[in-house]
């Protein structure tokens, strides 16, 4: 009797997991298409402020549409003096329930978190917390331009900048 019950339950659970719809979510696809300016292979330089002052780095970003263009996969790697100083993977999706983007980030040290993101005036803003934001857009030369800012006493102060060229 236990074997028959196990077979029936396994069949029900298996049929449920394979009965998901394979149609693309048109709203998610439309919202993610707004981020299409990011897709491609990018390479350039940047700087960031730290405890030791301003440090410069070389950066690459490999960005692809995934899941029938309902998600974007971002892989970034930064090097300074030949040493990897930044190695991250992120997945950008659209969250219909909250009517904004979700920016899920993974670091090589095992840390990961999900952050709110939004489009404002053709720029992607993502917020690691309420006092830090990163802003990504294409500048007038068609380059990836990204800056990071922190808020102190209601004023945004820049601590990060990156300019990348699209590789052909």
pLDDT of 5 reads 46
Q: 3-class SS at 58? A: strand
Report d(CA 44, CA 164) in Å as an integer: 4
Would residue 162 count as lying in a domain? yes
Would residue 12 count as lying in a domain? no
Would residue 16 count as lying in a domain? no
Would residue 75 count as lying in a domain? yes
pLDDT at 24 over 90: no
Would residue 18 count as lying in a domain? no
Categorize the per-residue pLDDT at 7 as very low, low, confident or very high, splitting at 50, 70 and 90.
Answer: low
Would residue 10 count as lying in a domain? no
State the maximum Cα–Cα separation within the chain, in Å, rounded to a whole number: 71
List the CATH number of the domain containing 35. 2.40.128.20
Is residue 131 within 8 A of residue 117, CB to CB? The reply is: no
Would residue 42 count as lying in a domain? yes
Kindly report the number of other CB atoms within 10 A of residue 146's CB atom.
Answer: 21
- pTM of the full structure: 0.83
- What is the per-residue pLDDT across 120-143, written as a single tens digit (0 to 9) for each? 999 999 999 999 999 999 999 999
Phi, psi of 26 (to 5 degrees): -65, -35
pLDDT of 3 reads 61
Mean pLDDT of 34-53: 94
Mean pLDDT of 31-41: 95
Report d(CA 84, CA 75) in Å as an integer: 13
Segments forming the whole domain that contains residue 148 = 25-47+57-166
| Overall number of domains in the chain | 1
- What is the per-residue pLDDT across 58-68, written as a single tens digit (0 to 9) for each? 999 999 999 99
- What is the per-residue pLDDT across 154-164, written as a single tens digit (0 to 9) for each? 999 999 999 99
């Amino acid at each position: 009797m236990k074997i028959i019950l196990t077979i029936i339950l396994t069949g029900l659970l298996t049929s449920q997991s394979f009965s998901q719809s394979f149609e693309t979510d048109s709203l998610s696809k439309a919202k993610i298409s707004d981020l299409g300016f990011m897709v491609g292979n990018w390479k350039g330089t940047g700087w960031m402020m730290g405890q030791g002052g301003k440090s410069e780095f070389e950066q690459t970003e490999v960005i692809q549409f995934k899941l029938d263009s309902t998600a974007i996969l971002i892989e970034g790697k930064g090097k300074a003096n030949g040493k990897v100083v930044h190695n991250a993977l992120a997945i950008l999706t659209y969250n219909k329930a909250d009517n904004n983007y979700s920016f899920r980030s993974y670091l090589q040290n095992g840390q990961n978190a999900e952050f709110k993101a939004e489009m404002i005036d053709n720029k992607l803003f993502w917020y690691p917390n309420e006092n830090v934001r990163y802003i990504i857009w294409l500048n007038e030369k068609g380059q990836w331009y990204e800056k990071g800012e922190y808020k102190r006493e209601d004023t945004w102060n820049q601590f990060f900048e990156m300019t990348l060229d699209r590789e052909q």
